[in-house]
Structure 1
């Protein structure tokens, strides 16, 4: 039986953890480690996940995307889903965002897209879909995303790669991430897992970067607006690698973010550390753009000092960072801190891995900025379309 297979990368934060919450820029890179999602029509008449009945309550990201893109009330048939992943779960490396991006793209491939002009894939000719420039559909609720009220007989259908859009995958993934996190989620994970390479999030449009789009989200604390950008490197960094070191300790992001908020409330002068992290991130972006990876490494190490000064590191992270430093250009925690992972930029990846593993960590190697969402199957047949 034919199936559709797609993949999306994990991610790590290079600069700007925690400071991004206070309007400072943050930089994320896509990793070589990926999640692959395969879908096909279920032969049992029920939704399946890796051969077992799909528990919608235990898989909120999958459930939310099914509601958005595969409505049973419109005749969409149950599917069998198979997931393979080399991204460690609950490690701050974007496994849930990668899953959401991949599954959103797989469902779009499986249904194609209705358009209002024959042969056009421009968003202004979409009859259905979600995106940062589309105001008639909402990716953050349970609506199905039909942009125009026209009979099917007046529309045209496109399938395959022409139907898929990185912005749509990213915004849908952000929507389900926000729902799963009680209305709070930065779009940096979903955008990096969808677009790949290097992504910058800021509260302003950064004139030196490639501006992708704006994201808006209503959170319990109010409305937040982010500007999402891509970084174009002057040269491909073939000689440098990222080595991820995993402490194996789970430190929930929400608790770490709350810890920083309490610290700043009790010690308002600590906001200067947040502002310094923002300045460091901007220096790191400029170093990336000119291909000065020695400067990128130094900037990472400076960022680590600031994060440690506000209590975001841990003895386990410190031990892995210390072990990686002699063979690296720079090293720091990545993500929320308190546990989870660290990242080192190095020209000697195996030497750095060996040092981290001797210190008790588990390691992964990645190049600096992998490709984003990818279609893995060469022949794609539409499984279902709204009629």
Structure 2
């Protein structure tokens, strides 16, 4: 770990204080296929992408009992202070990081007498990309490094999942944390009796000469994931919880989507048929639209992509108001599609799949 002055302080303010510095990063993710249907047992595909979150962590020694971590989030102004007993001050989003800090502090007993400052970097992340999970994984990795404890990716996943439970207000599937920690493409599916999620690492490859963009439809209002899961159920005529349904009932709900998923798997390689894969994305989206989780803004953005040569497009994540979508296009059409979206007020970012999970960038 290098020695440098604290970020955000002038030399006159902190000229006598040096600190250890480390930078960690983690990818974000998109759901390529399977939103909502995964709740009822269908397989879904999550892909780590190169729009990474970075955490610059600085440590300085402090008196025992004065341990804390200051969190600075210059992009969203959602900072605060967290403590090793799990307390937090400031924005509500820092509560998830307080839970991670408490877990590692108590687990290692090697962070006493150390105080931290964590600065979040990496630009804007759209809804559904797992940005919070990525930051949690970055913090967990840095804290274990500062504690001098070597851990594997499963332990970083476990800690990131602890944070996600706070952020989501309940037990999440784990796909966000799993993808940002491990990288690559991950197949995940839910089992019942007992209820659990399974994960399988898979190879990633889009057909040649194609790329993916993510599009933001935020207009000042966002719909939370829980409400959208309920909306999907209502539009399907589902009145029971997923684990209260019979296996046959769940199979009937998922059947239209599973056919799309199985066909898509056959095209997800360098020599795959790009047009077929794009058509399958449109079909997956039509199912989601039919079940009430699209919006006029999402539909407008998809129409723009289609009219400008897009191969396919669909919601990624839960959808709803302020939700994001992905567009699948030939690389030669990238700029024209993004320009057309921008003209109508929609921000977009080109994404590349990545096999790199959470890692130390500098120390």
TM-score (norm 1): 0.73
1:51-87: per-residue Cα shift (whole Å, max 9, x none)?
9761525312210111111249765222111111224
Which of 274, 287, 290 matches 2:267?
287
1:107 aligns with 2:78: no
1:239-274: per-residue Cα shift (whole Å, max 9, x none)?
221111100141211110011223334589997453
Structure 2 partner of 1:31:
49
Rounded to whole Å, the distance in 2 between the matches of 1:8 and 1:21 is 26
Post-superposition shift, 1:203? 3.3
Structure 1 partner of 2:17:
none
Q: Superposition pairs for residues 325-364 of structure 1, below 5 Å?
A: 325-326=306-307, 327-339=309-321, 340-347=323-330, 348-364=333-349
Q: Superposition pairs for residues 3-42 of structure 1, below 5 Å?
A: 3-42=21-60
Rounded to whole Å, the distance in 1 between the matches of 2:355 and 2:335 is 19
Distance 1:7-1:351 versus aligned 2 partners, 3 A rule? same
1:231 aligns with 2:213: no
Rounded to whole Å, the distance in 2 between the matches of 1:265 and 1:169 is 39
Structure 2 partner of 1:275:
255
1:293-352: per-residue Cα shift (whole Å, max 9, x none)?
333222111101111111111100000001011322210111111131110111122222
1:251 aligns with 2:214: no
- Secondary structure at the aligned position of 1:185 is classed as coil
Structure 2 partner of 1:96:
132
1:297 aligns with 2:284: no
Which of 71, 77, 83 matches 2:120?
83
Distance 1:370-1:364 versus aligned 2 partners, 3 A rule? farther
Rounded to whole Å, the distance in 2 between the matches of 1:42 and 1:248 is 39
1:178 aligns with 2:160: no
1:48 aligns with 2:75: no
With 171-180 and 344-353 compared, the bigger mean Cα shift is at: 171-180
Distance 1:271-1:309 versus aligned 2 partners, 3 A rule? farther
1:373 aligns with 2:358: yes
Rounded to whole Å, the distance in 2 between the matches of 1:376 and 1:275 is 43
Post-superposition shift, 1:35? 0.8
Rounded to whole Å, the distance in 2 between the matches of 1:298 and 1:53 is 45
**Ranges in structure 1 where 5+ consecutive residues have no aligned partner:** 114-162, 205-215, 217-221, 380-387
Alignment check: 8 A CA contact 2:111 2:147 kept? no
With 173-182 and 263-272 compared, the bigger mean Cα shift is at: 263-272
Alignment check: 8 A CA contact 1:242 1:345 kept? yes
Rounded to whole Å, the distance in 1 between the matches of 2:69 and 2:158 is 24
**Ranges in structure 2 where 5+ consecutive residues have no aligned partner:** 4-19, 74-78, 83-87, 241-248
Alignment check: 8 A CA contact 2:111 2:146 kept? no
- Secondary structure at the aligned position of 1:259 is classed as helix
Distance 1:370-1:361 versus aligned 2 partners, 3 A rule? farther
Which of 260, 275, 279 matches 2:232?
260
Rounded to whole Å, the distance in 1 between the matches of 2:175 and 2:349 is 21
Alignment check: 8 A CA contact 1:47 1:54 kept? yes
Distance 1:33-1:370 versus aligned 2 partners, 3 A rule? farther
Which of 50, 56, 64 matches 2:99?
64
Rounded to whole Å, the distance in 2 between the matches of 1:263 and 1:284 is 25
